[in-house]
Amino acid sequence: MDQTAYSTGTPSQATILIVDDAPENLNVLGHLLRASYHVRVANSGRRCLEIAGADPKPDLILLDVMMPEIDGYEVLRRLRDEPRTRDIPVIFVTALDGTEDEQYGLDLGAVDYITKPLRPPIVLARIHAQLELKHARDLLKNQNTFLEAEVVRRMGENQLIQDVSIHALARLAETRDPETGNHLKRTEEYVRALARRLQREPRFSAYLTERMIATLAKSALLHDIGKVGIPDHILLKPGRLTPEEWEIMKTHTLLASDAIERAEQDAERPVEFLILAKEIARHHHERWDGCGYPDGLAGEAIPISARLMALADVFDAVSSRRVYKEASPCEEARDIIAQERGKHFDPEVVDAFLDIYEEFKGIAFRYGETIEPPAPNSYLASSRRPEATPSPGT
């Protein structure tokens, strides 16, 4: 006999798989259990594994130990090795009544150990107890699965709200300077590309984790939010700024960092992207040689986030149209950045940029207003600064 189906009760009843190579034992247990449970039987360990791995899975297995070919202990090992069957509770039902035999079976993962000759009330009580435990475990597992899914859903919803809010704030700054077009998207992608390239370098690898790169790209969107505080006659002036106007223009870095700091103070706990956004907004016009603003930081004192943003911002400023200039070709932007290696920019950041220049060029054309060939431009002409302090970008 390979498999026999006994009469079953309602579909909601548990399914019990009885495994024994002796037909009389299958009949005895089947007769005992069929009034209360769905019963399936197998007369070998191999058949047990086949049934347990198929749908519908049994809720409980009553497993004989002494069977030919594959004994019960080996069957249990294989059940526990398979993700699909490892959680099915197994009760050994055997004539082996030694303490060592019982201990061995329990150590392998059996939930109980019933010795023959069988006492029906004890068998039924132990089966009922194990099914109650399984039902409780299943309820808990389902509840945990639901809660985990709900947490993921709510986190995703919160992340979406956060991202939309960041873009709304960033767009607020862009509305003051409409000719920048897709500047935000381009600089976000430039920063992401630079960070991924620098991730391979020992000096940056510990800092530029995947999480940090994603946060950096998001934070980069707020780098120019301080421009909302710059008067229109300066921000939109079609030409060079006077020294006095330039000093006012430079305050956009402080206006942004102060606003973000106030937002941090309102938060109940530190928010990683706000910390980076403040770094970037305040320091993306610092220079490697210490001649930048607003704090005159130099070298490693400049946050990594701001060093990446500085290069991305200059590349976009040179290669895109502004109210005060036409766009220059990407090659000119590349050459300007290469010339500023070790002066305006971190040398290793420049090296990473040159290595992925074609990726930058692709981003520029994918998202923007870059044109070629351009009207003649120069490093100085790409700047809003007064003549005495040439540097691209604002």
β partners of residue 345? 341
The CA distance from 226 to 2, in Å, is 79
Would you give the end-to-end CA distance of the chain in angstroms?
Answer: 86
330-339 and 304-319 are packed helices; what angle lies between their axes, rounded to 10 degrees?
140
120-175 and 23-33 are packed helices; what angle lies between their axes, rounded to 10 degrees?
70
Q: Please check whether residues 135 and 185 belong to one and the same domain.
A: no
User: What is the per-residue pLDDT for 161?
Assistant: 66
User: What is the per-residue pLDDT for 176?
Assistant: 63
Residue 391, burial from CB neighbour count under 10 angstroms (0-12, 13-18, 19+): buried
Q: Please check whether residues 192 and 270 belong to one and the same domain.
A: yes
Q: Please check whether residues 183 and 126 belong to one and the same domain.
A: no
Locus of tokens 């099914």: 131
> Which residue range is the domain that position 20 belongs to?
15-144
Residue 9 lies in a domain: no
Residue 303 lies in a domain: yes
CA 376 to chain CA mean position, Å: 45
User: What is the per-residue pLDDT for 369?
Assistant: 59
Residue 28 lies in a domain: yes
User: What is the per-residue pLDDT for 268?
Assistant: 75
Q: Please check whether residues 225 and 349 belong to one and the same domain.
A: yes
The CA distance from 143 to 55, in Å, is 22
Residue 8 lies in a domain: no
Tens-digit pLDDT string for the chain (394 aa): 344 333 333 334 899 999 999 999 999 999 999 988 999 999 999 999 999 999 889 999 999 999 988 999 999 999 999 999 999 999 998 888 778 888 888 888 899 998 888 889 989 999 999 999 988 888 888 888 888 888 878 777 766 666 666 766 666 666 666 555 588 889 999 999 999 999 999 999 999 999 999 999 988 888 888 888 889 888 888 888 899 999 999 999 999 999 888 888 887 777 788 889 999 999 999 999 999 999 999 999 999 999 999 999 999 989 887 766 777 899 999 999 999 999 999 999 999 999 999 999 999 989 875 444 334 444 434 456 665 444 455 5
DSSP state of 345: B
Residue 238, burial from CB neighbour count under 10 angstroms (0-12, 13-18, 19+): exposed
User: What is the per-residue pLDDT for 164?
Assistant: 67
CATH number of the domain residue 63 falls in: 3.40.50.2300
CA-wise closest residue to 69 among 78, 82, 61, 60: 78
HSE-CB at 214 with a 13 A cutoff on CA atoms is: 5
The CA distance from 198 to 97, in Å, is 66
Locus of tokens 């290069």: 311
Q: Is the pTM of this model over 0.85?
A: no
CATH number of the domain residue 328 falls in: 1.10.3210.10
E-strand ranges in the chain read: 15-19, 38-42, 60-63, 90-94, 112-115
Residue 252 lies in a domain: yes
> What is the number of structural domains in the chain?
2
Q: Please check whether residues 132 and 194 belong to one and the same domain.
A: no
DSSP state of 300: G
User: Which tokens sit at 375?
Assistant: 């009207």
Q: Please check whether residues 193 and 331 belong to one and the same domain.
A: yes
Q: Please check whether residues 346 and 227 belong to one and the same domain.
A: yes
Locus of tokens 């509840």: 143
User: Which tokens sit at 78?
Assistant: 């294989």
Residue 172 lies in a domain: no
Q: Please check whether residues 114 and 203 belong to one and the same domain.
A: no
Q: Please check whether residues 318 and 210 belong to one and the same domain.
A: yes
Q: Please check whether residues 102 and 30 belong to one and the same domain.
A: yes
Residue 344 lies in a domain: yes
DSSP state of 297: -
Residue 316 lies in a domain: yes
Q: Please check whether residues 21 and 124 belong to one and the same domain.
A: yes
Q: Please check whether residues 232 and 303 belong to one and the same domain.
A: yes
CA 35 to chain CA mean position, Å: 51
